[in-house]
Structure 1
Amino acid sequence: MSISAAADLDPEVAYRAASGRDPRFDGRFFLGVTTTGIYCRPSCPARKPLRRNSVFFPTAAAAVAAGFRACKRCRPDSLPGSRHWDASGDLAARAVRAIRDGAIDELGVAGLARRLSVSERHLHRILVAEVGASPVQLNRTRRAQTARTLIEQTTLPLADVAFAAGFGSVRQFNEVMLGEYGAPPSALRRPATAGTGATDTGEAAAPGSPASDAAPTIVLRLRHRRPYDAAAMRAFQRAHAVSGMDAIADDGAFTTSVPAPHGTALATVDWGSASDEHLTVRIQPAEITDLTAIVAKLRRWLDLDADPQLILDALGPDPVVGPLITARPGLRVPGSLDGPTTAMLTVIGQAVSLKAAAVFAARLVGAFGAPVGDSALRAFPAPQVVADAGADALREIGLTGSRAAALHRLAEALEGGLELSPAADRAEARRALLALPGIGPWTADYIALRALGDPDAFAPGDLVLRKALGAKTEREASAIAAAWSPWRGYAAMHLWTASAYLP
């Protein structure tokens, strides 16, 4: 199978990269060894196979679908996902993003197809052709990778791991893990203090129920590619914190609410324990079955799946942003835990300072936000709540009449079906946003960058960007930035932060 669709490389180039054990290609493709039935990351230290025994896959799911199992030495399943699919707006890319974020667990394959406005058969055909795996196979690999993380990092009983990872039954869990890794769940490494939660046969024992009444607090190490500018991401969080919705501890740990299928969760990023390979997060889900969806949101919010080398290769030679990226290759673009929330906060912050926007947002959360469990924090109000409140009530928190009206119209559009997620049609979402009175190009572009996860979003009308580029007009700024596509969003973040400005 050619990997050109995933990494702009042909098999011969891929083989040379793997032969040199170049870590820059980890996650961009996977090497399958036909004589052993194992697939590896390109940098695997094991002896490389002969070219005739090597095949290449764009995703881990494609390798598994072809009958290969993950290498126990290089752990290709532990790699963060590639941002290749984030750079495209076609059907396959939207489907991959949706599956990564748990759409099949929530909607099923048929529901995902309806969401993408295609038939189930067409969705299956497109993904097999472009990615090398069907929707079910992609989701199965996603669940298996989540399960392995929970097995190796937590003391959860294996039965709870099964349901937390999204498996419908313990039997299915055992079968998939055996197929993915060539071993039952109980054979995988566990923390020293963990019980195996397994029967004498080495398979997970079925519990009385999928989850306990009170879900435990889960501590996970979320991996990312090096380098990662944790200080910049932490600074962004602090600058955008909303009193009552977010909390910052004395040690800098950042806690916020995360919307989830069975109720709002709390997540804390422990910045004090950040390493060059992972971030530590503490998650308090309403139900353990929400864990996989929450982790996907956190990865997107913290931009853990970015490929710094890919961005550096594309933007490094540029005379304008190249020096900035070379100096700070680990700078990421902050994403979103919830598209509607990010969009409404963006409208609240239009044409005011960050401090003023935080005050207005805190008032909105205090007036309409729902408590999160037994904590002192509240969740940002859902679009339906904001829409039902009306523009007059929104003016009472200090918003001007025009901004209150714009926020109310946005909430009504969101409640009416406007989708602002990584799986959305980016062009259609932008058109829908611009059609709302009170929302201009800057707001639409910023929402695209963060809520839609579009790495190519760029706001040529932004005054800071235009000043940094020496551009007098939006057209001139757009012309300069055209060479940075499809990573203009990362270029913008470098220009913003280089100007000591957090948008």
Structure 2
Amino acid sequence: MNGDQTLWYAALKARDPKFDGRIFVGVSSTGIYCRPVCSARTPKAENCHFYPSAAAAERDGYRPCLKCRPELAPGLSVVDLSGRYIQVAIRLIEQGFLNSHSCEELAARLGISDRQLRRVFAASFGASPVEYAQSCRLLQAKRLLMDTRLPLAEVALSAGFSSLRRFNELFSARYRMTPSSLRTQSTGQDDGLTLFLSYRPPYDWPWMMRFLASRAVDGVDCVTAEGHYLRSLRAGSGETAAWGWIRVVPEEKRSRVRVQVAPALTRHVPEVLRRVRQLLDLDADPQAILNDLRELAADSPGLRLPGCVDAFEQSVRAILGQVVSVRMAARFAGEVARCWGQAIETPFGEITHLFPEARTLAQVAPEELKSIGIPLRRAASVVLLAAAVCEGRLSLDNVLDVEGQIAVLTAIPGIGKWTATYVAMRAWSWPDAFLQDDYLIKQRFPGMTPGKIARYAERWRPWRAYATLHLWHNDNWLQQQPAATAVNGDA
């Protein structure tokens, strides 16, 4: 790994959370690799070898630390990777694409050559796609062994292994211990699936929970008085599809969230955790964002970009939110879920339905949606969106060409540039989405046209979605500038 070894060792000594998930350290004297925040005694510098990923450390023969648990480290945000197609590659790998497909097929899915795919993985992660995928499976299995009481066969299946025998062989060879021996050291409880996801602080949890609560859809999701986020969730597809619920509890003092998952979703744990990471923007690097946004983010460096757990659901909610209040949009979405969503049983009285799938809403007449209060033109847009998804004309998952898909969205009658960009911002977690036509954004720049606002916002690339959040959050931003009149002059 190329870079500043002195800087990384200093980060290790300081247990600096800004480097968590960005580097891993292999300790030659122990044969173990750790996160930079590990609480174990700091090894000597000459014994430390730094890696850009857990996969690279494991390729060189290091075993994951049982104390700091590398599988809990936050991931990399989009701009840490060499292009959006690599982000999509990571998502596909986490979804198990390489369990049944080759690297060549993965490269073809991304529209690049196999050679280019391998070159970029080597540059970004110090490992090949296969090595990266193998580490993902093993670390996911390690997580389940330590945090749950699932039977070993269920652990193997959930982590993406084709057989228990193959799981045992690979786990023992790579980690030099058997799965059952690690299970004896487990802290897992018998009350279900409770897992953890780390993030890099700071994180403004009160703001995030207010944002989610104000947009909560009756029967589908909610924020409790205790600050817990609950929602229904569908995972998998076809014969492997399953549905259930999740409960997410922030543990701010430990810079992590606790995720309780319904037993019915056991086989889809990696997908569920990936969706939670996207919803809460847990992989963001707040220091990198602050460095580029500077004074705009200085007062609230913990703001994160709210994502989603289902891109189709979020897209429908964006359409329903046109020209109405946030609360009215949520009420419309709740009525859609009640009328066309699947009823499910959960331990929570607030969570009663799954949001309907595209194939369901594609069969609904716009007049039926109008009957629950949705304006007819907006209802027609929802049905056309659903049909475009079902027919394959629009992709809302694992989007590679953001601008191209925005163009497809805006070609649907009733969907304008604001709605399409908001979909990119929330459903696709595009960090550079900017809503220059947004009502509140225009209020922050009085007297400026949207075009001038967009030109001014160029200084905030590649974090313009975060700039949008900060502008929404800070209604006095313009007045706080050293020379407010310079804003118009710089435009």
Q: State TM-score, norm by structure 1.
A: 0.83
Which of 133-142 and 246-255 deviates more? 246-255
Deviations 1:229-279 (A, max 9, x none): 2212211221111112224555443321112012222112235x6544222
Once the two structures are superposed, the pairs formed by residues 137-156 of structure 1 within 5 Å of their partners are 137-156=131-150
Once the two structures are superposed, the pairs formed by residues 267-306 of structure 1 within 5 Å of their partners are 267-270=246-249, 275-306=253-284
Contact (CA 8 Å) 1:86, 1:455: kept in 2 or not?
Answer: no
2:376 to 367, 376, 401: 401
Distance 1:38 1:276, change over 3 A: closer
Aligned position for 1:468 = 444
1:335 to 307, 325, 331: 307
Tell me how far apart the structure 2 counterparts of residues 174 and 423 of structure 1 sit (CA, whole Å).
35
Aligned position for 1:206 = none
In the TM superposition, what is the alpha-carbon distance from 1:138 to its structure 2 partner? Answer: 1.7
1:225 to 184, 200, 206: 200
In the TM superposition, what is the alpha-carbon distance from 1:404 to its structure 2 partner? Answer: 1.5
Q: Which amino acid aligns with 1:95?
A: A
In the TM superposition, what is the alpha-carbon distance from 1:55 to its structure 2 partner? Answer: 4.6
Aligned position for 1:263 = 242
Distance 1:436 1:179, change over 3 A: farther
In the TM superposition, what is the alpha-carbon distance from 1:21 to its structure 2 partner? Answer: 5.2
Where does structure 1 differ by over 6 angstroms across 4 or more consecutive aligned residues? none
Structure 2 unaligned regions, length at least 5: 477-491
Distance 1:74 1:250, change over 3 A: closer
In the TM superposition, what is the alpha-carbon distance from 1:120 to its structure 2 partner? Answer: 5.1
Distance 1:254 1:431, change over 3 A: same
1:383 aligns with 2:354: no
Aligned position for 2:42 = 46
Once the two structures are superposed, the pairs formed by residues 419-434 of structure 1 within 5 Å of their partners are 419-434=395-410
SS of equivalent to 1:286: helix
Tell me how far apart the structure 2 counterparts of residues 494 and 332 of structure 1 sit (CA, whole Å).
10
Once the two structures are superposed, the pairs formed by residues 315-354 of structure 1 within 5 Å of their partners are 315=293, 318-319=294-295, 321-324=296-299, 328-354=300-326
Deviations 1:200-219 (A, max 9, x none): xxxxxxxxxxxxxxxx8412
Distance 1:10 1:270, change over 3 A: closer
In the TM superposition, what is the alpha-carbon distance from 1:14 to its structure 2 partner? Answer: 4.3
Aligned position for 2:218 = 243
Which of 435-444 and 69-78 deviates more? 69-78
Tell me how far apart the structure 2 counterparts of residues 226 and 104 of structure 1 sit (CA, whole Å).
32
Contact (CA 8 Å) 1:465, 1:495: kept in 2 or not?
Answer: yes
Q: CA RMSD in A?
A: 3.0
Which of 304-313 and 108-117 deviates more? 108-117
Contact (CA 8 Å) 1:102, 1:293: kept in 2 or not?
Answer: no
Distance 1:14 1:257, change over 3 A: same
Distance 1:427 1:244, change over 3 A: same
In the TM superposition, what is the alpha-carbon distance from 1:33 to its structure 2 partner? Answer: 4.8
Contact (CA 8 Å) 2:76, 2:284: kept in 1 or not?
Answer: yes
Contact (CA 8 Å) 2:212, 2:222: kept in 1 or not?
Answer: no
Contact (CA 8 Å) 2:344, 2:354: kept in 1 or not?
Answer: yes
Distance 1:287 1:13, change over 3 A: closer
Contact (CA 8 Å) 2:94, 2:270: kept in 1 or not?
Answer: no
Contact (CA 8 Å) 2:78, 2:431: kept in 1 or not?
Answer: no
Distance 1:55 1:75, change over 3 A: same
SS of equivalent to 1:378: coil
Contact (CA 8 Å) 1:77, 1:145: kept in 2 or not?
Answer: yes
Aligned position for 1:31 = 25
1:78 aligns with 2:72: yes
Contact (CA 8 Å) 2:243, 2:265: kept in 1 or not?
Answer: no
1:172 aligns with 2:148: no
In the TM superposition, what is the alpha-carbon distance from 1:71 to its structure 2 partner? Answer: 3.8
2:180 to 168, 186, 196: 186
Distance 1:85 1:173, change over 3 A: farther
Aligned length: 465
Deviations 1:411-437 (A, max 9, x none): 111112222234532222222212222
Contact (CA 8 Å) 2:230, 2:247: kept in 1 or not?
Answer: yes
1:364 to 320, 328, 336: 336
Tell me how far apart the structure 2 counterparts of residues 420 and 106 of structure 1 sit (CA, whole Å).
23
Contact (CA 8 Å) 2:24, 2:51: kept in 1 or not?
Answer: yes
Contact (CA 8 Å) 2:122, 2:128: kept in 1 or not?
Answer: yes
Tell me how far apart the structure 2 counterparts of residues 112 and 74 of structure 1 sit (CA, whole Å).
32
Contact (CA 8 Å) 2:73, 2:197: kept in 1 or not?
Answer: no
Q: Which amino acid aligns with 1:403?
A: R
Q: State TM-score, norm by structure 2.
A: 0.84
In the TM superposition, what is the alpha-carbon distance from 1:377 to its structure 2 partner? Answer: 1.2
Q: Which amino acid aligns with 1:354?
A: V
Tell me how far apart the structure 2 counterparts of residues 87 and 485 of structure 1 sit (CA, whole Å).
15
1:68 to 59, 62, 67: 62
Tell me how far apart the structure 1 counterparts of residues 37 and 256 of structure 2 sit (CA, whole Å).
19
Tell me how far apart the structure 2 counterparts of residues 368 and 467 of structure 1 sit (CA, whole Å).
38
Contact (CA 8 Å) 1:87, 1:454: kept in 2 or not?
Answer: no
Aligned position for 1:198 = none
Tell me how far apart the structure 1 counterparts of residues 254 and 474 of structure 2 sit (CA, whole Å).
22
Distance 1:359 1:107, change over 3 A: farther
1:456 aligns with 2:435: no
Distance 1:496 1:405, change over 3 A: same
Deviations 1:45-93 (A, max 9, x none): 422333xx65543221122233333344544343111215566634323
Tell me how far apart the structure 1 counterparts of residues 402 and 51 of structure 2 sit (CA, whole Å).
27
Which of 477-486 and 27-36 deviates more? 27-36
Q: Percent identity?
A: 37
Tell me how far apart the structure 1 counterparts of residues 23 and 166 of structure 2 sit (CA, whole Å).
27
Q: Which amino acid aligns with 1:296?
A: R
Aligned position for 1:5 = none
